[in-house]
Amino acid sequence: MQDFVRGLWKENPVFVQVLGMCPTLAVTTSLINGISMGLATTFVLVASGLVISSVRKLLPDQVRIASFMIIISSFVTVVKLLFEAHIPEISSQLGPYLPLIVTNCIILGRQEAFASKQPVGRSLLDALGMGIGFALALVVLGGVRELLYQGTIGGFQVFGTWYKSMVIMVMPAGAFISLSLLVALFQRISGRK
């Protein structure tokens, strides 16, 4: 159980470890983008974690990273093809960041630090926790940016017509500003000053 919760809060990949910043900053222009990116990454994390953990004793040490990369990139390609086939609008919104999940350091990091050394059950919990923790962070960030940019959350009007859209929130600068504020808030809540 501890393996699962760790990724959600205490070692949250975005707010605490500050890993995987490329998708975190780039695709969180709206809530729906955040959700899809988070779910896609979780899927890759869980699937490759399961495979790597179950074959961990067969992999020679010298080629373990190469093996991880083959497994991870296969799952990323699967996700990319399925997204393009079934949700083309979201896939075109995410653009190059979908195939770029392959370079997300959370994924390789968890394989190296956890899945390649632990039994399947624990690896599954760890991957789920890290994945959902990452997804939650993207959802919060995407939601905040969408709200401040056009006054909507997930496409639903939250602020009235009086709200003047803040273009900066949807640009890279807005990503940095909102991410840093959220990290600060997170540190405050969890009592680490």
Partner 1 sequence: MKKIVRMVLVLTLLGLISGLALSLVSNYADPIIEENEKEATREAIYYVLKSADSYETEEVDGKVIYRALDSSGELVGYAFTASGGGYQGTIRLMVGVGPEVWKVKGIQILESSETPGLGGKIRGESFKSQFRDLVARGEIGLVKSGEPERGEIKAITGATISSKAVVKIINTELSRVRSILSTGGE
- Residues of this chain that bind partner 1 (CB under 8 A): 29, 58-60, 62-63, 66-67, 70-71, 73-74, 77-78, 81-82, 84-86, 88, 92, 95, 149, 165, 167, 170-171
Q: How far is the CB of 156 from partner 1 (least distance, A)?
A: 19
For 146-166, b/e burial (b = at least 16 CB within 10 A) is: bbbbbbbbeeeeeeeeeeeee
Q: Measured from the CB atom, is 6 or 80 closer to partner 1?
A: 80
- Cα–Cα distances (Å) from 94 to 25, 54, 97, in that order, read 12, 31, 6
Provide the minimum distance between the beta carbon of 11 and partner 1 in the complex, in angstroms, as a whole number.
29
Residue (69 or 182) nearer to partner 1, CB: 69
90/183 with CB nearer partner 1: 90
Nearer to partner 1, 82 or 181 (CB): 82
Q: How far is the CB of 147 from partner 1 (least distance, A)?
A: 15
In the complex, least distance from residue 82 CB atom to partner 1, rounded to whole angstroms? 6
3-state class of 42 per DSSP? helix
Least separation in angstroms between CB 4 and partner 1: 28
Whole-angstrom distance, CA of residue 175 vs CA of residue 159: 20
152 phi and psi angles, rounded to 5 deg: -125, 160
Contact 108, 75 (CB under 8 A): no
Using the minimum distance from each CB to partner 1, give the nearer residue, 66 or 189: 66
Beta carbons within 8 Å of 172's beta carbon, 6+ residues apart: 25, 26
156: enclosing H helix or E strand: strand 156-157
Q: Shortest Cβ distance from residue 58 to partner 1 (Å)?
A: 7
**Which residue, 9 or 97, has its beta carbon nearer to partner 1?**
97
Q: Strand pairing of 156-157 and 152-153?
A: antiparallel
